[in-house]
Structure formats: structure tokens, C-alpha cells
Amino acid sequence: MSCEHCGLPVAAARRGGPAPWFCCFGCRFAHQLAAPSAVPDAQQVSPASTLLLRLGLGIFLALNIMVASWLSYSQEIFGDSARAQGVDVVLPAVFSTLALFLCTLLLVMLGVPLLADVFRSPASPGGRGIRTLWTLLPRLNAQTLIVIGVFAAYLLSAIHTLRGSGSLYYDTAAMVLVIVTFGSYLEAGAKRQAATAAGTLLASLPQQARVRRHGSVDEVAISAVRPGDQVQVRPGEILPVDGEVVSGSSSLDEASLTGESTPRSVKPGDTVLAGTLSLDGQLWLCAKKVGDSTVLALMERSLTAARSQRPPSQRLADRLAAAFVPAVVVVAALAFGWHVWRGDPAVGLLTGLSVLLISCPCALGLAAPLACWHGLRRAAEHGILIDSAATLERAAALDHVDFDKTGTLTRPEPMLETTATIAGLSQHQAIAWAASLESASSHPIARALLEAATKRGISPQPPEVSTVVPGFGVEGLVEGRQLRLGSKRWAETLGLDETVLSGDSVLSRDSVLSRDSAPDSEASLDNAILLMDEDHVLARFELREALRPEAASAVAELGQLGVGVGILSGDRKGPTQHIAAKLGVPAEAGLLPSDKVRQLTTRRQPGGCCAMVGDGINDAPVLAAADIGIAVGTASDLAARSGNVRLLNNRLGRIPILLRIARDVRRQIRANLLWAFAFNTIGIGLALVGWLTPVLAAAAMVLSSLMVVRISSRAGRIAPSAATQQTEPRSPSTPLHLAAGATSARLVG
């Protein structure tokens, strides 16, 4: 459960009944101040205007109590010379009675809600009803210390007023109560601001959309848009739906969604996401996902779910606070008893009260949740969704990362690496013919050849006649010549000369992607595509998986962070070792999912943490078995992916970002805890020696909590690195539209 006001997780002691839930008195008070007056009486504790008036009157009464206490202080400071004479002898009694009356009003307005929070039943978090004897016992928490101190000062002052002698502490009780209440209100506001610093993601979406229906364009509410509707987006507007570009082109600013700083050019056929900004062109979209189904809505739900979980380090702080509060009560009682034994109960009361107030463990309760929330939010700003604060803390201890190869370290589609032709045939011509044959196909091999043609400035012409031969390839009439493009098995079936495959001297070889690396025979022969005519094999095209551009820098940065890197792949040994050699990491090939799980188990070190990076669908078992499963992929299929961490894009450079954010959050949590313990330790010492008054202690306690909020706001801030700055080139879409009747499921080899 999470707090109704600030959204941070609620301690277990406050759970057990119906909503609303509040993590502290300040959040309950602030929530009531902000509650709309339209809420039915059964659900509304008090109108916001009444609560605000109570706080304002409390401040007014505290100031008047200080004025009414001046006579008492003057007598203590100046002694008998300030004692009232004659008719003025009644003034001390009048002013002390006035202070008693005003302080009583103040306690009713501000002290009783605080007292009720101490005795509030864990089984009724909304504060409705006390049902068992257990609920009559106060809970030892931060509010308990404040209540003990404030009401002790009030009761002792009331006794002295009725007796007509003794020191009065109405001003101390009043100012402490006002400072604590107002400070709790400020703290609750700071927590809410911290927890909602990213803003409501869906609030950035437009409330209206222009939809084309039945031949006309109408502006409708965003809730009325349905999947399949065609939506118009003008330059400078935010996309209201997830969809596919039907017509038009533009540059999209996706920084708010995926963390990409470079705008992406989109054209018909490209997938786009709600929440991104169209910079310079008009688009018509076919809506695919709307409302709560969009990736933007998924991000918001993921962040909300992650925020509501208490991080492991906070559970440790809770246990420490649970032992700390009783210890502080004992120390305050001993300090009071010591001074009473020495014959100075007034000093004992102030000392005990100062100890109670300065040691209020509010900062301990804020140390971990706020830092974790800022880390989760900043990770989301980089396109990294983390399922919980516990995962974020585990990531800080990450010492080994294993990658799947296909589709993770490499592009999902093959790339043309080398071209071999017979004597008399130029590579330019061979690629032009092959691209022409493939111009009507969306098969991955076709896209690889078409992309190679585009890089060479070739504009392939559609074949005059084209036929797909299932299991072999494609044949057609190109420039009046009957050509075939397919596998080695097809050439063998046709009885054509295969010398082009043997590396004879008649071949001319050209590396399209990597001139300085010779392909290994296993990968090359299995991925060889042959161009043939009716009598000869004319050319061979060797395809290979290509590393993602940021893979090498990401692996290098992981090494700099002290993280071991390996590859666990189900692919053959040759291609896997080729990729591993380029990255300089060990690799295991030919693994089944169960084999990958066993490999992860052997790599896990005591006290360490291992992660698996995969595409999230085929690698679901091993992602679930890892301490941290990181699913990479496009944001459009994010909902179908598994893993503790989800990347909204394929940028492997986001993984070092995840580690650096997690480690910075851990560093800030430790700084928070160190500050909280140091502050309480030093503060208790100052209070015991009499150097800290109760009012100063209360103010210092509030400032301590706000300091923790300030420190937490810096959690997750990281400097850019090579892996974070490198931008992956965007592969162009197929240059030609798919021809009617062409199949995209053709098998080659």
C-alpha cells in the first residue's frame, strides 16, 4: 500500500484496513487540507478551509502565548526586582491563566490530531473506530516522542498554574506543537513533490484529437478515439495515441519517453508512440493503442507500482527506528530523573523534552524511499522501467551480466558482409540484380540486400516477372534476363557450377561492412545466397549478423564499472564466437534455455548479483532465473516482455546507465542514513548537556527531515558517458512498398 498523499509506501504497522492510507501525520494533515469540499461527509474528515484556519489560529495562539509568558520570564531573569507590587500582584496569575486557556485551545486544535495519530488503530488507517484493547496502546513512533514532550510540558505548566507557583512552559509546548505541525506539513508537501516530480505522464497528452471518420475530420475527446481510427497530428503537437504512420513524414522528439536526445525521422509504415512530439511535419496515424493501453500509460503504472513497494534498506531503517524510539524515551526519562534528583526538575523537564524532540526519527523514515523514487524516476527518463525499489537496490550490487546474442547484442536482421562475383561481372551489377529480385519482399534477407543497394546508391527496379519458389528463393525476369536468387541447395538441384563457393581465383571479393575481418567458414557457408542465371552461378552474397553500434562501448563501460560480461547463446558456435571475439568476452553457444539457467547459477557469487539481458520473449525462463532480468526491445511490444527491468528501446548503453543510477541511489541512501544517525547522536548529546532548548530542537528536527528530502532529490543524477551519448544509426525502412501478392514468409536454405 502507498500513502494517499505522497504515494510513498506505508509501513506494515499502519496497514490492515480500508483506505485511505497515510505514511505520517503530516501527510494526513496535508491531505485533509487539500481535500475538496465536495467530498461526501462520510469520506471527508474536515473541510480544507477549516483545517487551514486551525493551522493559522494555532500560529496566532502560539504568538499570543509567548506574549502572555513574558511576565514569568522577566521574574526568572531579573528576580525580585521584576516581581509585581501592589495591585499588579494579580498580573502573574492573570497572564498564566490566559496562557493556560490559549494553550488548551491550541492543544485541542493541533495537539489532539497528533495524539489521535499516536493511538490510531493499525486496523483502521482512516481513523474510524477503536475496537480492541490493543488499539488503546500508543504506537512508539516519531509522533509518540512529540506527544510525550508537548503534553508533559503542558500538564506540568497547568499544575504550576493551579498551585500558583512554579515554572511555566506553555510557550515551549505551543511553539513546539506549531513548529512540528507546520514542519510536518512542509515535509509532506516535499515528499509529495519528490514523489510526483516526474509529473503525471498521461497529463502531457492532449485532451482532444482530430479523427477522420466517414470522410470528414472531427475533433473529439481523446477518450472517444478507438483503435483503427485515423488521427491527424500537426507540427508542434504531441501524439495522442500509439499507432502507425499512414501518411506524411516528420521528426519526432522522443526524449520524454525513451530518453533519446536525437529526433527520429518517421514515414509511412513506422510505429510511433503517444507522448512524443511531432517537430516539423504533419502525420496521419492509424491508432493501435489508446488510453490506458498506450506505452505511456504502462510507464505510469509501472512507476506507481514500483513506488508503492518499500525498499529493503528501508526495512532495516524501520527496525532501527523501532529500537531507537524506546531507547530515546528511556534516555529522556533518565535525564529528567537525574535533574530531579539534583533538585532542578525544571531543567530536567526541558532537557528531557529537548532529547525527545531532537531524536525524532523522521529522517530515518525518509532516507530510503525518497532516494529510491528519484532513482526510479530518473531511470524512466532514460527509457528504463524498473519493477521495484528492491530491483534498483539489487542492481547496485551487480557484478556479472550475461547477454543473449541474437537480437540483443546483434541486430535482429542480417547484414550483407561480403560479395563474390565471377569474372566480368561487377559487384555493383550483381547487387542491383539481386535487389531487383527482392524488391517485392519483406523477408529479412531481402531487406539486407535492399539496404546494401541503398548504401551503394542503387535504385533497384521491380522485376518484369517475379515468382517465389518456396524453400529455395525467388526467380524473375530482370532487364530481359532470367535470374534466380536463393540457396546453395537450389543451385545443386539445378545442377549449376558451384565453383563460386570454393573461393577460386576467378572471384572478386568485397566487404560491405567490415573489410578487415574474414568471415568464418561455418557462418558464411550457411548464410550464403547465390545469384544464378539459367546456366551459371553468377555471384555469392554472404550475410552475417551485425553488432549493434553501441554494444562495444556498453560492454567496455560495464568492464570499467567492475562488472563481468559474458554471452549465453542458443546459436551455433561459429557466429557466437565471432561476436564474442569482437567484444572480447567469453561466450557459451548452443545452449537451451535450461542450459542458460544452469550457467547463470554457476556464475552467481555469494553476496553478488547477476543479470541476464535478452529479448524478453524467447529468453523468459532465464530472465526469470536471474537476479535481475533485463528485457530489451522496442517500446511497442513492451507489454509482452518479461524481466525485472524493461528497456523502451534496444540501446544497450542504457544498461551501464542502470548500474550508475542504482549505485548513486545506494550512495545517497547511505548518505541519508549517515546524516540521520549523526544528527540524532549529536543532537541528543547537545540536549543532554543543556545546549539545546525544546523549541530549537523541534526546529532542528524539521530541518533535518527537509535536509534528507534535499539530499534524496539528487539521487540518480549521473554524468553522461560514451555509452549514453552514442546514438545508434537508424536503419532505413524498405525503400519500396511491398508488391501485391508477394509473401513475406519465404524460406531460403
Q: Point out the residues that are catalytic.
A: 404
Query: Which amino acid would we find at residue 186?
Result: L
CA atoms within 13 A on the CB side of 262: 11
* Distance from C-alpha of 429 to C-alpha of 135, rounded to nearest angstrom: 87
In this structure, what DSSP letter does residue 109 have? I
Q: Which segments of 537-653 does DSSP mark as H helices, in order?
A: 551-560, 573-583, 593-603, 620-625
Q: What is the largest CA-CA distance in the chain?
A: 133
Q: Where are the beta strands (DSSP E) in 495-561?
A: 508-511, 528-532, 537-544
* Distance from C-alpha of 89 to C-alpha of 106, rounded to nearest angstrom: 27
* Collapsed DSSP state (helix, strand, coil) of residue 417: strand
* Distance from C-alpha of 486 to C-alpha of 612, rounded to nearest angstrom: 36
Element (DSSP H or E) covering residue 568: strand 564-568
CA atoms within 13 A on the CB side of 136: 3
* Distance from C-alpha of 417 to C-alpha of 696, rounded to nearest angstrom: 74
CA atoms within 13 A on the CB side of 213: 13
Are the C-beta atoms of 435 and 452 separated by less than 8 Å?
Answer: yes
* Distance from C-alpha of 731 to C-alpha of 279, rounded to nearest angstrom: 20
Looking at the DSSP assignment, which residues form a beta bridge with residue 647? 384
Q: Where are the beta strands (DSSP E) in 387-480?
A: 398-403, 415-421, 465-469, 473-478
Cβ burial of 681 (10 Å; 0-12, 13-18, 19+) is exposed
Are the C-beta atoms of 154 and 103 separated by less than 8 Å?
Answer: yes
Q: Which residues contact 452 (CB under 8 A, 6 or more apart)?
A: 415, 416, 431, 435, 512
* Distance from C-alpha of 387 to C-alpha of 380, rounded to nearest angstrom: 11
In total, the chain counts a number of residues equal to 749
Buried b (16+ CB within 10 A) or exposed e, 104-141: eebbebbbebbbebbbbbebebbbeeeeeeebeeebbb
Looking at the DSSP assignment, which residues form a beta bridge with residue 251? 265
Residue with cell 536526445: 261
Give, rounded to a whole angstrom, the gap between the first and last alpha carbons of the chain.
56
Element (DSSP H or E) covering residue 299: helix 295-307
* Distance from C-alpha of 144 to C-alpha of 186, rounded to nearest angstrom: 19
The grid coordinates listed for 744 are 513475406
- Spatial CA neighbour of 729 closest among 128, 262, 135: 262
Give the Cβ contact number of residue 606 at 10 Å. Answer: 4
Are the C-beta atoms of 336 and 156 separated by less than 8 Å?
Answer: no
* DSSP assignments along 176-195, one per residue: HHHHHHHHHHHHHHHHHHHH
